[in-house]
């Protein structure tokens, strides 16, 4: 055993410094329990792939193997299959983006595109600006490149431009190097809110003025409920925006195909970084998706997904209204997530073991902040459980929250909270997104 090792890992002292950011989340062990069937999990963000008829994928696979088996089983281009890149242009056109085949780089899910962008731009000590809260695994990527995340507050309309201006001014005054602004403008993960068109324009303007690249991550934009979100930011700025897309939510995440659209010079470097990492993204799954897009009614399938998620969103919102009417939450108009705000003296992370004991799980708000924020928030996902399970899950959650409130009342150090104090905290302010 190495003198510098620890009991569990002989090679502990050999790791690169950047791996310090690669720590398993404190709630991971609980999530293993939460995946048991008797637990209603409102924690994960798994798409409901059962709404996709398997025969659509099977027949695309068969045709791929019959017609292009030799190509499908071979290494391919580091930029991705040209025909698929062309079809990706049709997908993006639905959100107002016009690009050329040459601008698109296919990646192993958009997660990998995020990793490649981080690898191209981040040195230790650099700053990434992101919404607060933001996508947990993007925060992990940025941390693994030893960058810091500076959060910008949101409200129901998404990132607040004035808050962005202030964050940039403060970072400049502190002499920090800002590399890019990471944003999920439509049906944000985890907050569920959507950046308005006016704000999209204002934020692009601020980024331009300050010479900050924008990374627009858009996995959920096509999963709207009543009307589409505003067009993508990339649709109006081709020089200042790297756009990330994926088939994970509109088709299936198991295929692991996403893409990046980037200004020309960045795109060249992305291809080189992609080759260095994986040589080429999977030829097989790219061709299967290409075949699916050519032969199946993929727009109709996205409509089916929308219907499924809308029904689940409705179930969650009405259950929250029924069981936790005094709390506040965001009202997503698409995507997978609701962001719940607890009374400010409750802690969602410390409450989680009790919730799991009551057979319901959620993701504590702190997972979505790099700076310890989100203590009295939680993300509730409505994408995977059936509407009945969602209603039951929220009922259980209400039991836990009300139980915590009663406990606090009994054991409050300053003596029992008065009815008035409870009311004051319990009727929480508008959803806390800051």
Ligand X SMILES: Cc1ncc(COP(=O)(O)O)c(C=O)c1O
Cα-based angle 382, 37, 334 (whole degrees, multiple of 5): 10
Is 334 one of the binding residues for ligand X (CB under 6 A)? no
Q: Regarding beta strands 328-329 and 363-364, do their DSSP bridges make them parallel or antiparallel, or are they unpaired?
A: unpaired
> Minimum distance from CB of 46 to ligand X (Å)?
9
* CB closer to ligand X, 217 vs 358: 217
Is 185 one of the binding residues for ligand X (CB under 6 A)? no
Using CB under 6 A as the binding criterion, the count of chain residues that bind ligand X stands at 13
Is 47 one of the binding residues for ligand X (CB under 6 A)? no
Among residues 64, 79, 111, 366, the one that binds ligand X under rule CB under 6 A: 111
Is 194 one of the binding residues for ligand X (CB under 6 A)? no
The alpha carbons of the chain give a radius of gyration, in whole angstroms, of 22
* CB closer to ligand X, 45 vs 365: 45
Residues 279-318 that bind ligand X (CB under 6 A): none
Among residues 121, 135, 224, 259, the one that binds ligand X under rule CB under 6 A: 135
By CB under 6 A, which span of 107-115, 277-285, 359-367, 397-405 interacts with ligand X? 107-115
Angstrom distance (rounded) from CA 64 to CA 59: 8
DSSP string, 387-416: HHHHHHHHHHHHHHHHHHHHHHHHH-TTSS
> Minimum distance from CB of 216 to ligand X (Å)?
11
Q: Which residue has the tokens 């190509």?
A: 71
By CB under 6 A, which span of 16-24, 125-133, 160-168, 246-254 interacts with ligand X? 246-254
Cα-based angle 152, 155, 160 (whole degrees, multiple of 5): 45
> Minimum distance from CB of 184 to ligand X (Å)?
5
Name the burial class of residue 37, with classes exposed (0-12), middle (13-18) and buried (19+) by CB atoms within 10 angstroms of its CB.
exposed
Among residues 77, 79, 87, 110, the one that binds ligand X under rule CB under 6 A: 110
Q: Which of these, 271, 244, 251, 252, lies nearest to 110 by C-alpha position?
A: 244
> Minimum distance from CB of 181 to ligand X (Å)?
14
Q: Which of these, 153, 167, 123, lies nearest to 369 by C-alpha position?
A: 153
Q: Quick check: helix, strand or coil at residue 84? A: helix
Is 45 one of the binding residues for ligand X (CB under 6 A)? yes
Tokens of 192: 């569920």
- Number of neighbouring beta carbons within 10 Å of residue 3: 5
Q: Which residues lie near ligand X (CB under 6 A)?
A: 45, 109-111, 135, 184, 189, 217, 219, 246, 248, 253, 258
């Amino acid at each position: 055993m190495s003198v510098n090792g620890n009991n569990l890992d002989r090679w502990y002292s050999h790791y690169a410094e950047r791996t310090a950011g690669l720590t398993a989340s404190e709630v991971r062990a609980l999530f293993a329990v939460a995946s048991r069937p008797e637990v209603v999990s409102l924690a994960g963000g798994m798409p409901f792939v059962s709404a996709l008829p398997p025969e659509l994928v099977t027949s695309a696979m068969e045709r791929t193997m019959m017609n292009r088996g030799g190509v499908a089983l071979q290494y391919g281009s580091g930029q991705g299959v040209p025909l698929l890149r062309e079809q990706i242009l049709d997908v993006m056109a639905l959100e107002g983006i016009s690009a050329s085949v040459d601008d698109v780089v296919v990646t192993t899910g958009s997660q990998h595109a995020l990793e490649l962008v981080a690898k191209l731009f981040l040195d230790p000590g650099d700053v990434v600006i992101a919404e607060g809260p933001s996508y947990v695994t993007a925060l992990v990527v940025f941390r693994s490149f030893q960058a810091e995340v500076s959060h910008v507050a949101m409200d129901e309309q998404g990132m607040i431009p004035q808050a962005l201006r202030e964050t940039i001014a403060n970072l400049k005054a502190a002499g920090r190097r800002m590399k890019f602004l990471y944003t999920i403008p439509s049906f944000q993960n985890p907050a569920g809110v959507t950046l308005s068109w006016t704000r999209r324009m204002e934020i692009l303007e601020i980024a331009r003025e300050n010479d900050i690249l924008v990374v627009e991550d858009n996995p959920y934009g096509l999963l709207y409920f009543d009307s589409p979100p505003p067009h993508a930011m990339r649709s109006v700025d081709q020089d200042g925006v790297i756009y990330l897309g994926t088939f994970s939510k509109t088709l299936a995440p198991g295929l692991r195909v996403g893409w990046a659209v980037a200004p020309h010079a960045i795109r060249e470097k992305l291809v080189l970084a992609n080759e260095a990492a994986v040589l080429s993204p999977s030829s097989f799954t790219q061709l299967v998706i290409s075949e699916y897009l050519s032969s199946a009614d993929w727009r109709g399938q996205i409509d089916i997904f929308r219907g499924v998620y809308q029904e689940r969103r409705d179930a969650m919102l009405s259950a929250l209204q029924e069981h936790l009417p005094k709390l506040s939450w965001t009202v997503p108009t698409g995507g997978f997530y609701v962001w719940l705000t607890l009374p400010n003296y409750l802690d969602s992370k410390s409450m989680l073991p009790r919730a799991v004991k009551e057979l319901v799980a959620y993701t504590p708000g702190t997972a979505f902040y790099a700076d310890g924020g989100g203590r009295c928030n939680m993300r509730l996902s409505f994408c995977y459980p059936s509407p009945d399970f969602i209603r039951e899950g929220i009922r259980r959650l209400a039991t836990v929250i009300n139980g915590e409130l009663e406990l606090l009342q009994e054991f409050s150090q300053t003596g029992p909270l008065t009815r008035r104090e409870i009311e004051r905290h319990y009727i929480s302010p508008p959803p806390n997104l800051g």
